[in-house]
Chains A and B, each alone.
Chain A
Amino acid sequence: MEKPAAAAGTGAAAKSLSVVLRDIVQEYPTPGGNLTRVIDRVSLSFDQPGINMLLGPSGCGKSTLLHMLGGVRPMGVDTPTAGAVLIDGVECHGPHDDAVMVFQRYANRPDLTVFDNVAFPFRLKLWKSLVPEVEWRQRVAEILKAVGLSDKLGLRPAQLSGGQNQRVALARALVLRPRILLMDEPFGALDAQTRDEMQRLLIELYQSWPCLVVFVTHDVTEALVLGDRVIVLSTQPARVADDFVISEERPRSASWQRSREAQALEERILEQLHQASPGKGQVRVTV
């Protein structure tokens, strides 16, 4: 296995990066004993830092794709059924150190303080051997400051709001300085105002620690606000329905969001989804 980028320190994260999904097919056994195909020959490649939005209706298999990139297998089934995930040209089979995931249900530990939640990875053999204690303590302090939780170090998750908990989860991922940051509808459970704040925070953090972000969402507006690139997936099974770049600089103003360009993109996405899988699944458009 390749040494994680974190060992080399900041800056190196941006260099030479290649993540390829090649002809991914995923099938799951149904209770009836048949196989159902949830992902059908999806090929994508990413070769530079950027925020890439995987947009599709709920239940379309976009989270499954993301889990594949992270090497996480929650279902206990072999993933992918066919095709390959290649990171820097090496086929990836299990969890790897290049990618860190942020889940919708923040996996914060209720028994640990904010500090210990963010420092959690450094208690593991892998990171303990890679990052000396002096350095990780400094990194934890730095990232907690960046996400605005410096004054909450000693609190436990139950004493924090939903947004603050998601900040903890984000900090725990970024403290490892991953080359690949995988986000699985991280802001989906938050209220509209908190979601706006978190999107702004993500943009700030990305500017400080640019990496390859793959961000799964079913929110068209979120995709347009955050994405350098938007990949639209159809549902049942998931195929790439559209794939385009947004060059507008972030943070994207409210007036840009109301602009003709943004409106046209939104219509294009909805049109693509409708054509690819009429009547199946839902996406959300927030106003």
Chain B
Amino acid sequence: MIEFWNPYAPLASRQRRLLGVGSVLALLLAWSLVAASGLVSPTKLPAPWDVLAALSYLSWHEGDSMLLTATLWSVGRLLVAGMLVIVIGIPVGIVMGAAPQVNAALSPLVDPFRSAPVVALLPILVMWLGIGETMKIAFLFIGAVVYLIPMVRDAIQAVPQSYWIGARDLGATPWESIYRAVIPMAMPRIADAVIVAFSVMWTYITVAEYVNARQGLGQLIQNARRFSAWDQVFAGIIVIIALALATYQFMVWLKRRLYPWETQQ
């Protein structure tokens, strides 16, 4: 057993997994006990097995999987918004990080949005863009890009100056030094920014699908709530968490594959 108050102690992966699974099981157990004891009415807290039943009902009912359809719609919106975040956010962040003048001009426009109530923008977006897909994609895009841009800028600025100077000394033009030396060195942290952006979008997906969605996980939850089907609400939330977690794990794995040198330094 490793000593307790030591944040630098390496925990064996078996032990780490054991502790993690243990606490999830403990929560499930507590939940089951509370539900089974009848202390809380099932209309306020559905039992785990009810949620499980709802999950299976949503997954397959009368030759149709509502869950799959909803998931595909939500994932589709997320991917479209995610592509836009990457294609627009990364270049803007890079230019801001690489050129102090651009940063000085744009950061007052971008940085405050990190703490702005993005959800409050929704009615405005509805007013401007209507209630269709454009509005939903735009909402996800804005919610994520305001995190991504400053992170990409910081990633560029965190690259040690020596790489830029070294490239300049070898005859690179200033721009060549940026894209041949600085950007490649910033890539792992830019990848981190993309991972954060996707996490943020998963948290906003229900909000984006709040208005007039006919399909999607947010709509599924919204619909279930309307009929007070709390077991289905819980099932929907659990599915979103699982999808967000899977996205995160996949992207972290991808990042390690793409930039193995980052951890070797």
Contact = CB atoms under 8 A, between A and B. Distances in A.
Interface of A: 70-72, 74, 95, 97, 99-101, 103, 105, 107, 109-111, 120-121, 123-127, 156, 158-159, 172, 176
Contacts of B262: 110
B15 interface: no
Given A107-B162, A109-B181, A124 B172 contact: yes
Interface stretch (B31-39, B121-129, B163-171, B224-232): B163-171
Contact of A103 (B162, B176, B264): B162
Given A107-B162, A110-B261, A110-B265, A125 B185 contact: no
Interface string B45-81: 0000000000000000000000000000000000000
Contact of B264 (A95, A97, A110, A125): A110
Give the size range of B's interface with the partner: 20 to 34
Interface of B: 161-163, 165-173, 176, 180-181, 184-185, 187, 259, 261-262, 264-265
Given A124-B176, A125-B176, A107 B163 contact: yes
B185 A100 contact: no
A35 B259 CA distance: 44
B264 A127 contact: no
Given A110-B265, A156-B261, A156-B264, A95 B171 contact: yes
B169 A109 contact: no
Q: Please indicate which of the listed interface residues A99, A111, A120, A123 has the most CB atoms of chain B within 10 Å of its own CB.
A: A111
A72 B264 contact: no
A109 B163 contact: yes
Given A110-B261, A158-B265, A126 B181 contact: no
A127 B185 CA distance: 22
Contact of A111 (B168, B170, B171, B185): B185
Contacts of B261: 110-111, 156, 158
Given A97-B171, A124-B172, A72 B165 contact: yes
